[in-house]
Structure 1
Amino acid sequence: MADKALVGEGLTKVFGGFAAVKDVNLSVRRGSIHALIGPNGAGKTTCFNLLTKTLTPTRGRILLDGEDISRMRTSEVARRGLVRSFQISAIFPHLTVLENVRVALQSSFGTGYHFWRSLRAVAPLNRRAEELLEQVGIQDNRDSPAAALSYGKKRALEIATTLALEPRVMLLDEPTAGMGHEDIEPITDLIKRVAVGRTVLLVEHNLSVVSTLCDRITVLQHGEVLAEGSYKDVSNDPRVVEAYMGGIDE
């Protein structure tokens, strides 16, 4: 267990009489990039929302660095280093790129979302905000309104705001969803860079991204674990090939 950053044990989520996730066991190794995939309706989003504390499991438990966080609030687990991004970009469109990151830093440093604070009071955060923007490659856009960014750069900004919370475990929800081909490779490269020294769990529909990015993959079908292993292992598993109706193509 010592090498496991995030563990789900017997995770089950029932909505009414429907079990969307059934007895799922998932272990994310510390320092790895782990993907959760599956065909439509497989239960991967529900499972991801359980692990990210957006939903509370009906049964089972979640361990973060060996600590049971199953009943903790999202804000509590975020303070412990478990931080997620969302498929729909969660940024403030009318603030500048720098201001978006600074708001995240205010939360991280305990100064809160006090928009009425003077610029002098939050100025010490600017240097760290600029470092984060440089890390994700959008430092040249620091003074642009977030709404003016391209879709790929908005995703990079969201990753910067996630990094501002100093995550040990990053949970990324469909990081390349809706992107054109020209944006996918830069975001994939960015995830590789920011994953150094961290643990990453992602839900991702683009299997070419999964094949080049992830150390381990868990495949869900009908709310249950169908297969787990490297990309090579799962892509050659006949059950996975059947689930994807023709297999996994790079």
Structure 2
Amino acid sequence: MSDFILEATDLSRSFGGFMAVRNVNLKIARGSIHALIGPNGAGKTTMFNLLTKFITPSSGTITFNGRNITHLKPEEIANLGIVRSFQISAVFPHLTALENVRIALQKRLDVSYQFWRSRKILSTLDGEALGRLDQVGLKRFAHVPAVELPYGRKRALEIATTLGLEPELMLLDEPTQGMGSEDVGQVADLIKRVSVGRTIIMVEHNLGVVSKLADAITVLSRGEVLAEGTYEQVSKNPAVMEAYMGIKAEEVA
């Protein structure tokens, strides 16, 4: 089995005359946390949508575990073990935390809703659902409606529902966006914990989180790969400094 779980080769996507992603090559090492970073408009979200097939590439290929998934649908790649989150928390607000995770388990186990025996079927999933909540520190909130959870715990609940699908590859889109410093630290710790035994790709603006979590970083700018490497390597890259802060190499020399 290849050391790389996912590879994108010469991946491009245009919208009319605008090239949002241009000839991007990306290799994601199995078992790693790989961050996609870059200034606003760099093409990060477009890349996420391409990798999870919410949009189709104009050209290029995507392979997962050696299989070409370029033309598969989002639900098909989810069934292969690629699951994503979104910038805005995507949980059912008026269901409890337990019920939210149970829905993910129903999807994975193909347990359909049948009104005459639904309670019995669903109760068999409660043990695993509680286990997933325990993984993210939410077991004591199992019977609390999602709408009543603080924002950081909503994001933790979203990760719990993602874990319910047993992903081999998780894609997290801005997991700490809009959080205070305490929540940021808790969610970063959570991502580190749940990364054991799986691969994570994340888009993240908080460079403190990136420096703490990422094994490898790809920096995008104007739809192209600007730099790749560890945080130490890319943070010292003159092209990255200029793209992020407008600082040219000769200004820091």
The TM-score bracket by the shorter chain reads over 0.9
Q: How does 1:171-210 map to 2 (within 5 A)?
A: 171-210=171-210
Distance 2:183 2:98 in 1: 21
Question: Unmatched 5+ residue regions in structure 1?
Answer: none
Distance 1:118 1:15 in 2: 45
What's the counterpart of residue 163 of structure 1?
A: 163
Question: Unmatched 5+ residue regions in structure 2?
Answer: 248-253
Deviations 1:211-250 (A, max 9, x none): 0000000000110000000000000000000001157xxx
* 1:26 partnered with 2:49: no
Deviations 1:158-198 (A, max 9, x none): 00000000100000000000111110011000000000000
Q: How many residues align?
A: 246
Using the size of structure 2 for normalisation, the TM-score is 0.95
| C-alpha deviation, 1:118, in angstroms | 2.2
Distance 2:114 2:91 in 1: 15
SS state at 1:244 partner: helix
Distance 2:18 2:240 in 1: 23
Q: CA RMSD in A?
A: 1.1
* 1:54 partnered with 2:50: no
What's the counterpart of residue 139 of structure 1?
A: 139
Using the size of structure 1 for normalisation, the TM-score is 0.96
What's the counterpart of residue 85 of structure 1?
A: 85
What's the counterpart of residue 129 of structure 1?
A: 129
| C-alpha deviation, 1:210, in angstroms | 0.1
- Amino acid corresponding to residue 76 of structure 1 in structure 2: E
What's the counterpart of residue 106 of structure 1?
A: 106
Distance 1:34 1:149 in 2: 29
Distance 2:52 2:186 in 1: 25
